[in-house]
């Protein structure tokens, strides 16, 4: 028997939990996720699930919940992160930490990315437990710290054996309830140019780090790194995120730093891309005596790809379609997830969650209440199909 119906009380539980989580600030940096982890743990325990906290760094725990299976199959990991990006400087229509309910939507930082997914996954586990369902394998929910900066919690989970026995991973990042089996990777680079100081009235006596780094950035913008087109993913992209240099208007700048965000698709080798950027920097340095340019990796997240015809993708699509009465779209995502940290384990990954991913990191982030209940029912259907539980 597939359980996909929810009571009005269960729908209210999901709404109330999401609003509580939004009110608990977990902005990263600095990464104050403890209050959110504790709230999730308390609620999971109140609903009869096994719970625990694992310290990843001081004041930064991963939170765990478990619905025990009867041991006949592998586990399913439901994955979410407890941190958010800052609310930004642009005024919001509703306080970003209010969890306000207005126009049929819940407003606040993290509503989409991704406290709605965490709330819906936990309510789905509790709802199945109430119905006496016992899965073939364990259902594991982990709320990880640090995804918005360095995936610290995901790395700790991997390195501490938290993926042992896991057969499938479902990540609750926002997909507008589409099924997403692939996302692009990210290679973040810091470029540091060093030149020579001189008086601004005699620039020929110096080496201007700003001008030379700007030239390298122009070269990178014009570069067409090789790739194979992907059926679900946008082509690779490059963005110059920050640039800073110089000390005064009338001084030739002897230092400039820029950060670059390269988004990649499956088949692109990050090591080869890094070497190509370093080769370009070396070419520029060879034309300008006294110039030095260092290229450093600050973030290296490989793409995630589970083939569209993989049994996990087919199962999720079928289960969600039956729960909703219509088959969901299958597409790719532009963002990356904690799944990038786990690709070397060979565990198939699918992303499925409530919220419009275009609102992630935006002012006035919000999620429709109606999507919360649909997400819970979708997770319930997916879990039952994957783990073929007993009633």
Residues classed as catalytic:
83, 147
Three-state DSSP at 209 gives helix
Cα 161 from Cα 178, distance rounded (Å): 30
The answer to whether the beta carbons of residues 379 and 170 sit under 8 Å apart is yes
The answer to whether the beta carbons of residues 293 and 192 sit under 8 Å apart is yes
Nearest to 55 by CA among 74, 67, 41: 41
CA 266 from chain center: how many Å? 17
Provide the 10 A C-beta neighbour count for residue 231: 10
Distances in Å between the alpha carbon of 201 and those of 283, 323, 372?
Answer: 28, 71, 63
Cα 355 from Cα 336, distance rounded (Å): 16
DSSP strands (E only) in the chain: 50-57, 60-67, 75-81, 101-102, 105-107, 139-144, 166-171, 179-183, 185-194, 237-245, 255-264, 292-301, 304-305, 330-333, 349-351, 366-368
List the alpha helices (DSSP H) in the chain.
8-23, 34-46, 116-130, 152-159, 209-222, 270-285, 311-324, 369-387
The answer to whether the beta carbons of residues 62 and 56 sit under 8 Å apart is yes
């Amino acid at each position: 028997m597939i359980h996909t119906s929810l009571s009005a009380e269960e729908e209210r539980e999901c709404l109330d939990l999401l609003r509580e989580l939004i009110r608990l600030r977990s902005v990263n940096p600095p990464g104050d996720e403890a209050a959110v982890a504790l709230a999730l743990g308390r609620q999971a325990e109140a609903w009869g699930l096994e719970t625990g906290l694992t310290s990843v760094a001081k004041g930064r725990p991963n939170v765990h919940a478990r619905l025990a299976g009867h041991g006949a199959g592998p586990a399913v990991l439901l994955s979410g992160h407890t941190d958010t990006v800052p609310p930004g400087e642009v005024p919001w229509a509703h306080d970003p930490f209010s969890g306000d309910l207005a126009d049929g939507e819940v407003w606040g930082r993290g509503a989409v990315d991704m406290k709605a997914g965490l709330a819906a996954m936990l309510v789905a586990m509790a709802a199945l437990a109430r119905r006496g369902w016992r899965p073939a394998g364990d259902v594991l929910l982990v709320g990880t710290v640090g995804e918005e900066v360095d995936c610290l919690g995901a790395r700790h989970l991997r390195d501490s054996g938290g993926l042992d026995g896991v057969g499938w991973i479902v990540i609750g990042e926002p997909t507008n309830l589409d099924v997403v089996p692939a996302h692009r990777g990210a290679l973040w680079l810091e470029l540091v140019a060093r030149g020579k100081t001189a008086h601004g009235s005699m620039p020929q006596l110096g080496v201007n780090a700003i001008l030379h780094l700007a030239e390298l950035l122009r070269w990178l913008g014009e570069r067409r790194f090789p790739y194979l087109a992907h059926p679900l993913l946008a082509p690779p992209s490059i963005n110059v995120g920050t640039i800073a240099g110089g000390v005064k208007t009338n001084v030739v700048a002897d230092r400039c730093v820029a950060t670059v965000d390269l988004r990649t698709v499956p088949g692109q080798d990050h090591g080869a891309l890094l070497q190509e950027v370093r080769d370009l920097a070396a070419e520029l340095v060879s034309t300008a005596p006294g110039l030095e340019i260092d290229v450093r990796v600050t973030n290296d997240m490989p793409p995630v790809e589970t083939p569209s015809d993989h049994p996990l993708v087919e199962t999720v699509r079928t289960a969600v379609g039956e729960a909703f009465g219509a088959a969901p779209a299958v597409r790719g995502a532009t963002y990356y997830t904690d799944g990038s940290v786990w690709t070397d384990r060979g565990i198939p990954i699918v992303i499925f969650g409530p919220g419009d991913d275009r609102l992630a990191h935006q002012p006035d982030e919000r999620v429709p209440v109606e999507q919360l209940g649909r997400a819970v029912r979708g997770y319930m259907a997916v879990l039952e199909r994957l783990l073929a539980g007993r009633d």
